[in-house]
Amino acid sequence: MLDLSSILSTPAPPIVQTLLAIPLVLVAISLLTWLTTTINWYSSISQFKSRVKSPSTTVKPIPPPLLPYAIPWLGSALTFLNENPGSFWRMLRAKLASTGTNVQVCTILLGGQKAHVVNSAAAVQALFKSKHVSRDLFNYQIATQGLGASKRDAEVMFPSIPSSSHSDKKEDSMDGLNHEFLLNQSAANSLTNKFMECFRSTLDNADLEDLEWKQVDLFSWWKKLLFNASTTALFGTKILEMNPDLADQFWEYDAGFLARFYGVPKIFKPRAYACLDEMLDRTQAWVEHVLAEHGGNPPEQPDWEPLMGSKVVRARHRHYTREGLSSRGRAAFDLGFLFGLQANVIPVTSWILAHLLSPQTPEDVLLRVREEIESARRPDNEVDISILVGQPVLNSVLHETLRHYVDALVTRQLKVDMVLDGHLLKKDDLVMAPSSLSQHDPQFWDQDTEPPGDVWYAERFLRQDPTTGKQSFGTSWTAGKFFPFGGGTHVCPGRIFAKQEVLGALATLLLKFDLRFVEYLGTDRNGDTLNLGKGAAGFPKVRKQYAGNGTYAVSGC
């Protein structure tokens, strides 16, 4: 007969006791951490309330409240690293709103690094204007983790302490190149003209002529057209000749960018890292080939040539040569340049088309857009970009799309202690101004005369002149609450060309074709096409991706 009582009363071996105790200890640590950080959170909120009730110019600034968390060191990292776009900012906004205060600066812990999140217009503008902040750490992490550059090449491009090997001439720096070849209006126009030439050629070869009507999967068709035209205008024809499927490879590279940047282990995102290696191998082969053809020194003239494309790309490579960048490093930073443009311009134009053609958007919006495009048509039936970029409805549609779909993290590291909105931020801490948080702030965007900020509204940036009754476009009233291109000295240098490219491509498409909405399409788990009908529920969804990915990509394409 088995005596269970003797078995149950026998002490477990020490190793078993230890193993059983580990989960209990971890739970206890998590509970204690959560309890401590929660108490500190409410204590900070209480301090903030007291300061609001008794304002005084002599009151010392206080640290921002630290968002409660349960896992030591990791802090809010796991919550932050979820792939439900915008969810972390919605949670944070709700958490701050629940305090019953107007706290606009708070701190989150991400893998041992404190990051202060700012949301008020005043704090964002102060951050942009400050001369005591740096992007060096952010740039270095993008180069090594996101783009796959070696530490040596990253330090060459973003030296924390400039060495004697770096030129003192501003025109020889990357900022100098950006001003000369991207921010200069004449240079941007030249680049746009080449893009329009490439886009028209691509559109003419799209196999849609001599047909009265043809149904197409608009986004899939559009993405490849725009990618190839833009890549050709920037980098020439040779890169696509050597890599004819570059467009397909690129979107895999794009989808894995933030997984690499945030350091998600390769075991969880193997394709993100494998695709990076493939893209670097291919781009490096192109770099070495075209440099050899040019004898190692890309020419300054002409405006465009087939091997290396535009002046800006050739100027970048001359800069790489001066700085002693490896061919692998050149490939990494060329891909970064391509990523900065394509991963934003193409989704933006796709979202604009989705809204303009959607049966949920009032019909007069597309009619007004077509009228503005028609007024920019030249006698030769081409588009006059200088007229197009000044059209009010088109500009409002573009900027509302940027407001609604851009999730950029403007990140700076503090060189000194700083006070923002009465909060003390310490040297070496990170400060983040998430565009999505500010650009969907209900306190600012939910006005009585307009749909709320979580709704795409074509006329949001239009204002009516009470005297003339005419509508005009403007963004001056959004300072500190609308910054899809970043801000300060590090504002996106390609923004002029990007805007002209988006509007030029849209205008050319709408002038050439009479587009009609048929129905929404989707895909099932097996990747098979689903017909989703014409209802609002079928409208394209945002692809699963991490916070800070720039422009949200369209799910399924």
Give the model confidence (pLDDT) of 459-494 as tens digits.
999 988 877 778 899 999 999 999 999 888 888 899
Residue scoring higher pLDDT (348 or 166) = 348
CA distance 96 to 76: 15
Distance (Å, rounded) from C-alpha 319 to C-alpha 177?
9
Going from the N-terminus, what domains does the chain have, and what CATH number goes with each? 17-132+409-441 (3.30.43.20), 167-408+442-480+483-551 (1.10.630.10)
Once rounded to an integer, what is the mean pLDDT over residues 144-150? Answer: 95
pLDDT per position as a tens digit, 61-85: 889 999 999 999 999 999 999 999 9
Q: How confident is the model at residue 447 (pLDDT cuts 50, 70, 90)?
A: confident
Taking the C-alpha atoms of residue 377 and residue 380, their distance in angstroms, rounded to an integer, is 8
What confidence score (pLDDT) does residue 48 get? 86
At 433 the pLDDT is 94
How large is the average pLDDT for residues 412-428? 91
pLDDT at 397 over 70: yes
Indicate if the pLDDT at residue 1 is higher than 50.
no
**DSSP per position, 92-144:** HHHHHHTTTS---EEEEEETTEEEEEE-SHHHHHHHHH-SSEE-HHHHHHIII
Q: Confirm if 233 and 194 have CB atoms less than 8 A apart.
A: yes
Residue-wise pLDDT tens digits, 249-304: 999 999 999 999 998 999 999 999 999 999 999 999 999 999 999 998 899 999 99
Confidence of residue 173 (pLDDT cuts 50, 70, 90): confident
Alpha carbon distance 266, 274 (integer Å): 9
Lowest mean pLDDT among 74-83, 319-328, 358-367, 521-530: 521-530
pLDDT at 164 over 50: no
The neighbouring-strand residues paired with 377 are 383
Contacts of 5 (CB under 8 A, 6+ apart): none
Q: What pLDDT shows up at residue 172?
A: 66
Highest mean pLDDT among 27-41, 94-108, 214-228, 397-411: 397-411
Q: What is the mean pLDDT of residues 99-107?
A: 90
* Residues 414, 247: Cα–Cα separation, whole Å: 38
Q: What is the mean pLDDT of the chain?
A: 88
DSSP 211-273: -S-----HHHHHHHHHHHHHHHHHH-SHHHHH-TTHHHHHHHHHHTHHHHHTT--TTT-HHHH
Q: Are 385 and 504 a contacting pair, CB within 8 Å?
A: yes
Instruction: Note whether 227 and 350 are within 8 A (CB).
Output: no
425 forms bridges with which residues in the sheet?
A: 418
pLDDT tens, residue by residue, 232-243: 999 999 999 999
4 versus 439: the higher-pLDDT residue is 439
pLDDT at 286: 97
The two tokens of residue 117 are: 């999140």
Exposure pattern of 132-147 as b/e (b: 16+ CB <10 Å)? ebebebbebbbbbbbb
pLDDT value of position 7: 42
Q: Check residue 513 and give its pLDDT.
A: 85
Sign of CA dihedral 222, 225, 229, 235: positive
Percent of the chain topping pLDDT 90? 64
State which amino acid sits at residue 88: F
Residue 332: which pLDDT band, with cuts at 50, 70 and 90?
Answer: very high
pLDDT at position 339 = 93
pLDDT, residue 2, reads 44
CA 155 to chain centre: 24
Mean pLDDT value of segment 25-39: 89
Q: Residue 13 above 80 pLDDT?
A: no
Range scoring the smallest mean pLDDT among 31-45, 430-444, 514-528: 514-528
Higher pLDDT, 218 or 135: 135
CA distance 303 to 309: 8
Contacts of 297 (CB under 8 A, 6+ apart): 318, 321
By percentage, how much of the chain surpasses pLDDT 70? 89
pLDDT at position 548 over 90: no
